[in-house]
Every structure is written in C-alpha cells, then in structure tokens.
C-alpha cells in the first residue's frame, strides 16, 4: 500500500516540475533569443513481484514444497531526468535599432556522435569566464562599450571589449563593425558542435561544457552564418503548444492527486474499521 503512495507522489512531483518549466517558457515567450526548455521524463526501474506459496505432497509424513508464483511487474514511479534547451532558430523580427543584432544560422556541421546540429553564439564577458548568448538586444553604455541589456560586455574575436563612440555604427553580414566606413572590430562569435552540452544560466547566457572558450566560428570549417543589424531573433517558444502541454501536465497532476486521495481513504478505512478490535 505504501509503495502506491510513493509511486503517486513521484508522478505529482514530476508533473509539478514540468509545469514550472513550461511556465518559465511562457514567461520568456517575448525574450529575444530565448531557447525553450524541453523535459525528459524517465521511469524508475520496474520490480517483479512474486508470491511465496507452498504445495502439499500427500505422503505418510506430509511434505510442503515452497514455490514462487509470479504476480507481475510494478513500476515505482517517474521523475523528470533533465531539461534541455531547444536550439531551433527563432523567427527574425525587424526592430530598426542599430544596436540590435540577429545571428542567422546558415549551414551548420552536424555532430557525428549525437547527430545534433551545431550553433553559433555571441560571446560576452562574465566574472566566471566567457559566456554565450543568442540575445542580440545590445546597447552602448555610458562608457562607450557594447553590452547586453543585462550589462555584460560583448567581446570581439580577440576576446576584447568593443568600445564605440556612439550607437551610430554599421555592421556587415560577416560581423564586422564599421564607423564612418572604417572597420573598428568584429563580433566574437563562438561555435558549439553540440549545443545540448552547453550549460544554461541566467540572463539568457550559456556556458561551455568545460567552462572554456568555444571555437571561433569564423575559422571553423563548414560553419556558415550571418549577422543582421536592426533585427532580433525572437524566442522559439510555441505559445499555443506550451499552453496545451501545461494543461496536459495539470490534468496528469490532478489524476495522480485523485489516486492519492483514494489510497488515503483506503488507509483510513483499514486503520479505523478493519483494524478495530471489538471488546
């Protein structure tokens, strides 16, 4: 009986965590460059239940031979193993702002081991090492440095901060920054062979698997991409599907809750009625 309590509880916890993940996706549906999380559900190992019994053999002294009778398999619950971002490119939206930059994936090599398509990222500076983002909603701060809206400095291909006199600059399709038709730098673009290995952090940032720098996308064979000034990559959250998934998760949570209530009533009856000792 108690095993049933644990099984139902794991189902409720898994659906609660999935709902929290989907809620976070919905909250970031309008965040530029946001990559929707996906849940991986996994069941605990199944258990084989057997009933111990014995059979009598009609001999003079009588023999009892024990044997096991298979009852069947029992699953002890489910859990949300991990969440992985979906790196599918979001829609490109025109904004008209000079400091808005959209990264557009062209031809990306496919990782032979996982079959995952690679992706490119803007490189920014953090206290813990280089970080990467697809959010190109940039700005020029009071000191003339190109930063994200969260205040992280955008780096060039040499790992240096990009300093400009104003946001009146132009950017070519290959990431070169031009001021009065003079090239003053080029965006640092990192390439990840398998973006699923990247570690998602706050503010739309990702860290590499080993916390080090990614490959330089400009020098990586087979990587074709472009930068588009005055545009932003929108979130790839599918709002209608996310709402449907949230309702499904809620209904599954509700179903587990009703089973839990049924178990609770059964235990109450066993304790208060079946187990009562009459004087």
Q: Are residues 165 and 121 in the same domain?
A: yes
Q: Domain range spanning residue 8?
A: 1-86
Asked if pLDDT for residue 58 goes beyond 60, the answer is yes
Q: Are residues 80 and 99 in the same domain?
A: no
The CA radius of gyration of the chain, in Å to the nearest whole number, is 29
124 in any annotated domain: yes
What is the C-alpha to C-alpha distance for residues 81 and 176, in angstroms, rounded to an integer? 42
Q: Are residues 124 and 216 in the same domain?
A: yes
Give the least confident one: 1-5, 173-177, 208-212: 1-5
Q: Are residues 147 and 160 in the same domain?
A: yes
Token pair 């490959």: residue: 215
252 in any annotated domain: no
Closest CA to 70 of 92, 47, 44: 47
Instruction: Say what the pTM is.
Output: 0.80
State the pLDDT at residue 102.
95
67 in any annotated domain: yes
pLDDT digits (tens, 9 = 90+) for 225-258: 999 999 999 999 999 999 999 999 999 999 989 9
Taking residues 79-105, report their average pLDDT. Answer: 91
What is the C-alpha to C-alpha distance for residues 35 and 88, in angstroms, rounded to an integer? 8
Q: Are residues 43 and 80 in the same domain?
A: yes
Taking residues 120-145, report their average pLDDT. Answer: 92
Asked if pLDDT for residue 200 goes beyond 50, the answer is yes
Report how many domains make up the chain. Answer: 2
Instruction: Write the Ramachandran bin of 210: left for phi over 0, alpha for psi from -120 to 50, otherwise beta.
Output: alpha
Q: Are residues 10 and 113 in the same domain?
A: no
Choose the final residue of a domain: 86, 118, 134. 86
265 in any annotated domain: no
Token pair 């400091």: residue: 99
98 in any annotated domain: yes
Q: Are residues 203 and 121 in the same domain?
A: yes
pLDDT band (50, 70, 90) for residue 123? very high
State the pLDDT at residue 157.
92
């Amino acid at each position: 009986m108690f095993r049933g309590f644990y099984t139902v509880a794991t189902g409720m916890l898994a659906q609660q965590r999935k709902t929290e993940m989907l809620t976070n996706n919905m909250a970031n549906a309008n965040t530029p460059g946001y990559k929707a999380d996906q849940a991986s559900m996994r069941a605990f190992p199944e258990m084989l239940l057997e009933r111990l019994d014995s059979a009598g053999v009609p001999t003079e002294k009588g023999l009892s031979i024990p044997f096991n009778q298979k009852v069947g398999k029992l699953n002890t619950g489910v859990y949300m193993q991990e969440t992985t971002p979906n790196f599918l490119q979001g829609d490109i939206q025109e904004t008209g702002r000079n400091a808005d930059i959209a990264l557009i994936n062209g031809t990306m090599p496919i990782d032979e081991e996982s079959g995952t398509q690679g992706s490119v990222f803007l490189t920014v500076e953090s206290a813990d090492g280089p970080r990467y983002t697809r959010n190109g909603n940039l700005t020029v701060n009071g000191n003339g440095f190109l930063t994200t809206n969260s205040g992280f400095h955008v780096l060039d291909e040499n790992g240096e901060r990009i300093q400009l006199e104003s946001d009146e600059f132009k950017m070519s399709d290959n990431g070169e920054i031009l001021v009065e038709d003079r090239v003053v730098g080029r965006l640092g673009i990192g390439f990840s062979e398998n973006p699923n290995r990247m570690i998602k952090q706050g503010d739309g940032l990702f860290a590499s698997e080993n916390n080090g720098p990614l490959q330089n996308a400009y020098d990586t064979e087979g990587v074709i991409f472009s930068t588009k000034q005055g545009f932003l990559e929108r979130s790839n959250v599918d709002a209608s599907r996310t709402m449907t998934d949230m309702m499904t998760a809620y209904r599954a949570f509700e179903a587990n809750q009703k089973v839990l209530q049924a178990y609770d009533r059964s235990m109450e009856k066993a304790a208060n009625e079946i187990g009562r000792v009459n004087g």
